[in-house]
Amino acid sequence: KIKTLLMGAILVASTLSAKAQDAKAKTILDKLSKKTESYTSMHADFEYKMLNKEEGINETQKGSLLTQGKKYKFDIAGQVIISDGKTVWTVLEDAEEVQINEVPQGEDNEDYINPVSILTMWEKGFKYKYDSKVTLDGVELDVINLYPEKPDEKSFHTVKLYINQTKMVVSKIEIKGKDGTDFTYNIKTFTPNESIAPSKFTFKQADHPDFEVIDLR
């Protein structure tokens, strides 16, 4: 009986601890969402790393992200993805090609992931749990793990957010792939509320006269 009571006490304590951690994660994420939604625009420069030790893959790229409402410009690994909120242009520099699509609407929009939604990805489709507190480059960060609610539909099992609570920004994102491939985004600079010209969020054919245009709308 004593052993049973002890096991029960340990189980209850573990459950209470997990709930407390989830509450802590929710508090931080709610503050982060509120702060993010207050920005009129965001500009981030980041370092992107893909790592798979088993396959011998270790690649690092630099990129940038510019957002304003639903508009964005995402530049990484030789391709630029631009959207004015209605149309998406994918510019493939090496192939000298641009693909044009419409931003999905209605039910199709539910599974549509764009760079803007990544900034608040925890708000929908994820369970979350507070992990730990770590220090990176002399800065104290809170680590929160995100787990997809429909794991069978995803190619990853965990997303780790490293949050600077002093500035209330995400400093690092790690995506743990099921196949052993991990993706890391280290945010190097982050500037909110810049004044951005609307032309930044449209593709100009005149700037790429030799590019093949493939309209998929």
The tens-digit pLDDT sequence of the chain (217 residues) is 444 454 444 454 443 444 445 889 999 999 998 898 899 999 999 998 999 988 899 999 898 999 998 899 999 888 899 999 899 999 998 899 999 998 876 444 444 456 666 667 778 888 889 999 999 889 999 999 999 888 888 888 999 999 999 999 999 999 999 999 999 989 999 999 999 999 999 998 888 889 999 998 8
Angstrom CA distances, 86 to 58, 83, 104, 130, stand at 35, 7, 8, 36
What is the CA angle 159-24-16, rounded to 5?
105
Location of structure tokens 């030799």: 210
Q: What is the DSSP string of 59-109?
A: EEEEEEEEEETTEEEEEETTEEEEE-SSEEEEEETTTTEEEEEEPP-GGGG
Angstrom CA distances, 18 to 10, 11, 13, 129, 131, stand at 12, 11, 9, 8, 10
Q: Do 194 and 45 form a contact (C-beta atoms < 8 A)?
A: no
This model's pTM is above 0.85: no
